[in-house]
Amino acid sequence: MVPHLITALTGPINELEQRILDSMPAIERWFRLEWMEHTPPFYSSVDVRNAGFKLAPVDTNLYPGGWNNLTPEMLPLAVQAAQAAIEKICPEAKNLLLIPENHTRNMFYLMNVAQLARIFHMAGLNVRIGSINPEITEPTPIALPNGDSVLLEPAIRTRGRLGVKHFDPCTILLNNDLSAGVPGILEDLHEQYLLPPLHAGWHTRLKSRHFECYEEVAKRFGKMLGIDPWLINPMFNQCGEVNFAEGTGFECLTANVDALLNKIRRKYKEYAINEKPFVVVKADNGTYGMGIMTVRDVKDLEALNRRTKNKMSVIKDGQKVSNVIIQEGVLTNERIHDAVAEPVVYMMDRYVVGGFYRVHAERGVDENLNAPGASFVPLAFADSAHLPQPGAKPGASAPNRFYMYGVIARLALVAASYELEATDPELQDAD
C-alpha cells in the first residue's frame, strides 16, 4: 500500500528538494565522513515535519518502538542493517537479550517487541526477551492480536552479568527508554555489550541538548548545501524551574515563548510565509508524546486550564517536569485521506531502513500527533529509502520526498551521536 499523499509543496521546499537531489553524492559523502568521526546510535526513529516551506526533525528516539508498523518489504533492509551493526560492535555475538518497556498489556508495544526479536533473530542471533518488570516472575507467554506471541522471561542478574534462565547473552539490547532512571539490575554490566549505552536514556537525555547539537549539524550541512539552515532547523529556547501544577516559573516561559514567536514571525516575513507562528512547549526529558503543548500566543499561557497543567506536570513513569524546551512549531502539511500526518523515519546504525506516517484525524496541523487516536500508515519506503529518482520533478515524486526525509532524519542521527559523546561518562572521565 502506497499512502495517498498531499503536500503543500510551494516555495522553498521545492528548491530544497532540488538542492538535496542535485547534491546527493556530496550529501552521502558528508555522512560517510561524519561516521568516520562519530558513532551512530545503534537504532533510532525520527519524527519529521514537512511544512511545505520548511522540513525539520522534531523528535529523535533512541529506543524506537513501532517497528511493527514497518511493512514486510522493509524487513530485509532492517535485517541487513542489523547484521552490519552487530558485526561492527560484537561479531562474536551469539545470544542477544532484549529488554523491553515494562508495559505488559500494551499489545501494540508487544508487537513491536516481537518484531524487533524477529529482526535480530533473522540477523542470526539467538534472541530472548528479558523483562525487568517486577510483576514478571516466571516465563510469561503473551498471545498477540496478529497471531504472533512473545515470551517475557524475568531478567536475572548474576554478579556482573544479566540474562534469563539458561541464557547468557553477550549483548543486551535496550528497548526501554529509562525515563525513571537506571534500575539497579542494569548497572555495572561491564562484561556484556549494552546497547544503546545507559546515558542514551531519558534520565540523562535532554531535548534541548539534542537540538543544540542538531543546530550545529544543520549549520554545517546548510553551509555545504548553500542553504539557510533555518529551512531544516527548528529554533528553540529553554526554561528550567517551571512548575505547571503550582504555576511558578511562568515568567521565564512567557518571555521565551514571546521571544521565539517573534523570531519565527521575522523568519516568516523574510520568506513571505503567510502562516500563523506557533511554538511547542515540551518537557525537556519527555517521551511517549507526553508533556507537550502547542502555544500560538503568550496569552494562551495565562489561560491554561487544570487539565493542561496536569498534563504538563507529569510525564512517563511519573517523572515530574521542571525543565522545558520551547521549540519552533513546524506545521505538517502532509495529509493522508484528509487526516494530518507526519513521517517517522526508522534507522538501524547509519542506515535508513523504513518509515511510516503517523496519522491523526482529530489533530490540527500545528499539534502533536503522537497521542492516543493516532494510527500508522507504512511508507513504501523499501523502494525508496535511499533511492531518489534523478530527473523526476521535485515534489512530484514520493521516492524523492522519502529520500529527503531520510536525509533530515540522518542529520538528527548525527546530532544524536554528538549528544551521546557529550554525555558519555567514560569520555567525561577522560577529560
Binding site for its own copies (CB under 8 A): 24-29, 31-33, 35-36, 72-73, 75-77, 79-81, 83-84, 86-87, 91-95, 121-126, 351, 382-388, 390
Are 91 and 134 contacting, i.e. CB atoms less than 8 angstroms apart? no
CB of 351 to its own copies, least distance (A): 6
CB of 124 to its own copies, least distance (A): 2
Length of the chain: 431
Q: Which is nearer to its own copies, 30 or 63 (CB)?
A: 30
> If DSSP codes are grouped into helix, strand and coil, which group holds residue 235?
coil
Q: Which is nearer to its own copies, 24 or 194 (CB)?
A: 24
Cell of 77: 533492509
Q: Which is nearer to its own copies, 106 or 126 (CB)?
A: 126
Q: Which is nearer to its own copies, 25 or 134 (CB)?
A: 25
**334 membership: H or E segment, kind and range:** strand 334-336
Q: Which is nearer to its own copies, 344 or 382 (CB)?
A: 382
Q: Which amino acid is at 280?
A: V
CB of 48 to its own copies, least distance (A): 19
CB of 315 to its own copies, least distance (A): 36
Are 347 and 353 contacting, i.e. CB atoms less than 8 angstroms apart? yes
Q: Which is nearer to its own copies, 74 or 283 (CB)?
A: 74
Say how far apart CA 343 and CA 334 lie, in whole Å. Answer: 8
Say how far apart CA 3 and CA 335 lie, in whole Å. Answer: 9
Gyration radius of the chain's alpha carbons? 21
**Which phi and psi angles does 64 have, rounded to 5°?**
-60, 130
CB of 24 to its own copies, least distance (A): 6
CB of 411 to its own copies, least distance (A): 15
302 vs 248, 250, 297, 366, CA distance in Å? Answer: 12, 9, 10, 20
Q: What 8-state DSSP symbol labels residue 63?
A: S
